[in-house]
């Protein structure tokens, strides 16, 4: 893979692009076997057993604005939660001193006022809406359809074949209901696109204007 020789040249492109290429080469759809979210591979945690922290809400990867990243998963009770460690650049896993102290650190270092309420209701939410907009706008070779791509990989709906949680798997029907509710929580429309009202309430008029082209 490092030398991009033979099949390694394909695999070096990452799970998503490799699956597309192999499907093209073999004439068989292998993307359904790829565990990825919008082109990004998944970290160490799944959802089928319900034992990982990601298992408490099975759409946590699918609805994340950083899909596949196990440190930036989405949870409906606090969707902006993981944007704080990403922004303040600390490890959410190892830090255990409580968030109140983080705000004190922030004020001491920057001299700027930052409160939990300001972060939850405005700053953290602004970050998520901007990330969502960038994700939906896509890149030079891929764009994403929320109703198709805000979903778990097919393999994650297959029951676990062995182990103490053998047979366990989330229901796709229930997961899609969760997705619809999360869209409402985030101020996104039924297609998963941030609404004009939501963006303008956060002072993101420029982002709202850019998203007009994909709302049509």
Token readout for 12 is 């070096």
Residue 94, pLDDT score: 84
CATH number at residue 124: 1.10.599.10
Q: Which domain holds residue 132?
A: 35-215
Residues 135 and 158 in one domain: yes
Query: What is the per-residue pLDDT for 171?
Result: 95
- Which pTM was predicted? 0.89
pLDDT score for 55 = 80
Instruction: Note whether 99 and 187 are same-domain residues.
Output: yes
Tell whether 91 and 195 lie within a shared domain: yes
Domain check: are 186 and 83 in the same one? Answer: yes
Let me know: does 192 contact 114? Beta carbons within 8 Å: no
Question: What pLDDT shows up at residue 24?
Answer: 95
Burial 56-68 (b: 16+ CB within 10 A, else e): ebbbbbbbbbbbb
Number of domains in the chain: 2
Q: Please indicate, yes or no, whether residues 27 and 91 belong to a single structural domain of this protein.
A: no
User: Do 26 and 57 fall within a single domain?
Assistant: no
Q: What are the per-10-residue average pLDDT scores of the chain (216 residues)?
A: 95 94 95 93 88 87 89 86 84 82 90 90 94 90 89 95 95 96 96 97 97 88
The encoded tokens of residue 83 equal 């944007």
């Amino acid at each position: 893979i490092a030398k991009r020789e033979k099949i390694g040249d394909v695999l070096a492109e990452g799970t998503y692009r490799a699956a597309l290429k192999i499907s093209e080469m073999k004439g068989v759809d292998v993307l359904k076997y790829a565990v990825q979210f919008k082109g990004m591979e998944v970290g160490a945690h799944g959802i089928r057993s319900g034992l990982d922290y990601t298992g408490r809400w099975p759409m946590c990867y699918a609805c994340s604005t950083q899909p596949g990243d196990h440190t930036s998963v989405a949870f409906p009770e606090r969707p902006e939660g993981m944007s704080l460690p990403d922004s303040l650049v600390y490890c959410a896993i190892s830090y255990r001193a409580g968030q109140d102290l983080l705000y004190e650190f922030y004020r001491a270092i920057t001299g700027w006022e930052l409160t939990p309420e300001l972060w939850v209701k405005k700053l953290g939410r602004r970050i998520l809406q901007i990330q969502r907009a960038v994700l939906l706008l896509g890149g030079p070779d891929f764009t994403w359809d929320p109703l198709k791509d805000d979903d778990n990989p097919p393999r994650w709906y297959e029951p676990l074949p062995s182990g103490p949680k053998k047979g366990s798997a989330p229901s796709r029907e229930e997961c899609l209901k969760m997705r619809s509710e999360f869209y409402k929580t985030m101020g996104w429309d039924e297609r998963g696109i941030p609404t004009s009202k939501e963006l303008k309430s956060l002072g993101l008029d420029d982002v709202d204007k850019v998203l007009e082209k994909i709302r049509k």
